[in-house]
A and B are shown apart, each in its own frame.
Chain A
Amino acid sequence: MKRKLTTLSIGLIGLGIAPLCMAEGTIAGTDIDNTAAVSYEVGGTPQTTTSNTLTLTVAEVLDVDVTLLSGPVSVPSGTGPHGLLFVVTNTGNGTEEFSLAINNAVGGDDFEPEASTPAAIYFDTDGSGDFSAGDTAYVPGDNDPVLAPDASVDVLLVNDIPADLADGAIGLSELGAVAATGSGDPGDLFPGDGDDGVDAVVGTSGADDVIAGQYVISDIELAVVKSATVLDPFGGSSPMPGAEITYRIVITPTGSETAVNTVITDPIPANTTYSSESISLNGGALTDDDTDADADPGAGNRRGPRRPDRSERRPDH
C-alpha cells in the first residue's frame, strides 16, 4: 500500500501536478473538519468532552490565465500560416474544462490577421513551440481542454497575413479561454455546479481571460540592377568577338527584414563564354570552386562551358 502511494505521488509529480502543495489552494470538494475538545475535573474526577464536528466544504474557484509566450512575430505580407504561442493555465482549485476562441477584430492595430482554415486554434501537441504538422486542431465542444488545478496547455493561434501591407504594420490576434462551468464577476456563484457537486465560485480572473499576440510586417524587397561594360581587343567598347563583357549586378534591399539564404543566379549569355575565376562579391574575389574555401564572404559556382582561352568574358558578380 505504501509503495502504491509512493508510486502514485511520483506519477503525479511527473505530470507536473503537485498533489499536496497547490499554488491555487485546497482542492475543490475537500471537507475541512473541526472538532474542539475540553478536559476538566469535577470533584477530582477527570473528564473529557468533544464538541460537535464542523464540516466546511471547499468550493470550486473558477479561474483561468492566458499568457502569451511568443514575442512579436515578424512576418512578410501575403504569407502564412504563422503561429502565435500561448499557454492556458487552470488557476482555479478544481478540474475544469475551458473553451477557447480566437478574435482578430482587435482594435488598436494596423491590420487584421486572417484566421487560417480549416482551423485557427491548435494545441502545440508536439511541443515544438510553433505551428507544425504534429499539432492537433482544436474543435470547440469536441476536444475542449480539461485541466487539473495548476495544469496548463500550450495553444497556438494560426493566421495568414494579408498581402500588400506596409513594413512595420502590426496585426493583433487574441486567444480567449473561458471556464465551462461558468464565468462572470468575481464572487458569482454557481450552486452545485463545481467538482463533485460543490458550489462553484468565479475567482478573480472572472473565469475568463484573453490576451493578444502580435504580428509585425517585416518585409524585404531586393531591387536588382544589372549593367554591362565592354572592353574590346582594341581598347574600345565595341562588342565584337574577343571582347570582354563585365556584368555588374547591384542588389539593394529595402524594408526592415534581413534577407537570408540569398542566391543570385545569372545565366551566361548565348555566344559568350565565362572567364574563369572572374566572379567577385563586393569587390572581393571569389573562386569558381563549389566548396569555396576562400575567406571571402560568399561562394560562386561556375556555370556554363569553360574554355581556357583569352576570349573568355568576365561577368562581375
Chain B
Amino acid sequence: MTDMMRREKLMNSLATTFSKCALLAGLLLLSGSALAQQGTIQLEHKAEQWESVTDDNGIEQTRLVEAAGVVPGEEVLFTVTYTNVGGQAAEAVVITNPVPDHMSYVNNSATGDNTSITFSVDGGETFGAPQDLLVTDALGAETQAAAKDYSHIRWVVDGDVAAGGSGTVKFTAVVD
C-alpha cells in the first residue's frame, strides 16, 4: 500500500514535469526554429550558390555549393523541403517565404512541383499572380509590379500531403 502510494505520487510528479516540458516545448515551437521539426510537417530550408569550376578537361562547369558569405549582386537559390512526418494526411498545405531583406526576387525563379505560386507586394497581406500585382510608382501611378517589388512568395500545394510525403519548393534571390 505504501509502495502503491509512493508510486502514484511519483507518477503525478512525472506527469507534472511532463506537462511543464510540453508547455515549454510549445513555447519554443512558437518562438522559432530550434524545434521546428516538432510539427506534423517539417520544413527544412537551405541556401545555395552556383560556383564555377573548371574540370580536368578544362571545361567550365557550375555546381551548387552551400551559401555562406555573399556579396551584392550574387544570386542565392533557396530550397524549402516540406515533409509530413505525422501519421495523417495534411491538407491545405501552404508554404510562405518572405523575400529576405537586402535581397530581390529573381523573375520566374520560383518553382515547386504540384504547387500554385503567387506573390505578394504588400508584405504578405495579399497574394496574386504577377500580372495582377500593382505597385504605385514615384509619380503616384499604379503600374504592374516587377520582380524586385515582391515581398513574399507563396506556394499552395495541390491536394493533400500524405503521411510520409514530401516535396520541395525553390526560388532565387539576388543580394541587393
- Please give the residue numbers on chain A whose beta carbons come within 8 Å of chain B beta carbons, in ascending order: 24-26, 30, 32-43, 47-54, 56-59, 61, 93, 198-199, 201, 203
Other than the known A42-B91, A51-B45, A56-B76, what 14 A-B pairs have Cβ atoms closer than 8 Å? A30-B102, A32-B102, A35-B97, A36-B78, A36-B97, A37-B43, A38-B94, A38-B95, A40-B161, A49-B36, A50-B32, A56-B68, A56-B70, A199-B69
Give Cα distance in the complex from A34 to B153, angstroms: 12
Q: Is B36 a contact of A50 with CB atoms below 8 Å?
A: yes
B73-99 vs A, Cβ < 8 Å mask (1 yes, 0 no): 100101010100010111111111110
**Chain B proximity of A22: nearest CB distance (Å):** 8
Q: Which residues of A contact B33 (CB under 8 A)?
A: 35, 50-53
Closest to B86 in A: A42
**B142 in the interface (beta carbon within 8 A):** no
Question: How near does chain A come to B172, taking the closest CB pair, in angstroms?
Answer: 12
Instruction: For B39, give its contact among A35, A47, A198, A201 (CB under 8 Å).
Output: A47
**How far is B152's CA from A37's CA once the two chains are assembled, in angstroms?**
11
> Which residues of chain A are near B128, meaning CB under 8 Å?
none
In the complex, 29 of the A-B residue pairs with CB atoms within 8 angstroms, ordered by the A residue number, are A25-B175, A26-B176, A32-B101, A33-B101, A34-B97, A35-B98, A36-B78, A38-B82, A38-B94, A39-B94, A40-B161, A41-B90, A42-B40, A42-B88, A49-B40, A50-B43, A51-B45, A52-B33, A52-B43, A53-B32, A56-B68, A58-B69, A58-B70, A58-B71, A58-B72, A58-B102, A59-B69, A198-B69, A201-B69
B100, CB-defined interface residue at 8 Å: yes
- B43's partner among A38, A43, A56 (CB-CB below 8 A) is A38
Nearest Cβ distance between residue B148 and chain A, in whole angstroms? 13
* Cα of A32 to Cα of B175 in the assembled complex, Å: 9
Residue in B closest to A57 when the chains form the complex, CB atoms: B69
B111 within 8 A of A: no
Report Cα–Cα, A286/B90, bound state, in Å: 106
Q: Which of B38, B70, B91 contacts A32 (CB 8 A)?
A: B70
Given contacts A38-B82, A39-B92, are A49 and B41 in contact (CB under 8 A)?
Answer: yes
Q: Are B32 and A26 in contact (CB under 8 A)?
A: no
B146 at the interface (CB under 8 A from A): no
Chain B residues lying within 8 Å of A32, measured Cβ to Cβ, are: 70, 100-103, 175
Closest chain A CB from B104 CB (angstroms): 11
9 nearest A-B residue pairs (beta carbon): A25-B72, A51-B43, A49-B39, A59-B69, A51-B45, A40-B90, A36-B97, A26-B102, A40-B93
Q: Does residue B46 face the partner (Cβ distance < 8 Å to A)?
A: yes
Residues of B with C-beta under 8 A to A199: 69
Q: Do the beta carbons of B175 and A40 come within 8 Å of each other?
A: no
**Chain B residues whose C-beta falls within 8 Å of the C-beta of A24 in the assembled complex:** 72
* Residue among B29, B38, B70, B82 making CB contact with A57, cutoff 8 Å: B70
B95 CB contacts on chain A under 8 angstroms? 36-38
Q: Across the interface, do A51 and B93 meet the contact criterion of CB distance under 8 Å?
A: no
How far, in angstroms, from A52 to B71 measured CA to CA in the complex?
22
| Among candidates A43, A52, A203, residue contacting B36 with C-beta atoms closer than 8 Å | A52
Specify the chain A residue showing the minimal Cβ separation from B124.
Answer: A37
- Assess whether B78 is in contact with A25, with CB atoms less than 8 Å apart: no
Most buried by B among A30, A38, A203: A38
Binary CB contact string for chain B from 53 to 71 against chain A (1 if under 8 A, 0 otherwise): 0000000000000011111
Q: How far is the CB of A93 from chain B (nearest CB, A)?
A: 6
Which residues from A are CB-within-8-Å of B80? 36, 51
B32, B36, B69 — most chain A CB neighbours (10 Å): B69
- Give chain A nearest CB distance to B56 CB in angstroms: 21
Interface: B44 (CB within 8 A): yes
- Closest residue of B by beta carbon distance from A44: B91
A47 contact set on B, CB distance < 8 A: 39-41
Residues of the B chain whose Cβ atoms lie less than 8 Å from the Cβ of A26 = 72, 102, 175-176
Q: How far is the CB of B32 from chain A (nearest CB, A)?
A: 7
* CB contact under 8 A between A36 and B68, given known A25-B175, A30-B102, A50-B33: no
Q: A26-B176, A51-B80 are known contacts. Are A40 and B71 too (CB-CB below 8 A)?
A: no
CB distance from B175 to the nearest CB of A (A): 6
Tell me whether A59 and B70 are in contact in the complex, defined as CB-CB below 8 angstroms, given that A36-B97, A54-B78 are known contacts: yes
Q: Are B71 and A61 in contact (CB under 8 A)?
A: yes
- Answer yes or no: B47 CB below 8 A from chain A CBs: yes
Query: In the complex, what residues of A have CB within 8 A of residue B67's CB?
Result: 56
Least distance between A27 CB and chain B CB atoms (Å): 9
Cβ-defined contact, B45 with A36, below 8 A = yes
Q: Is the CB of A40 within 8 A of B92?
A: yes
Please determine whether A34 and B98 come into contact, CB atoms closer than 8 angstroms: yes
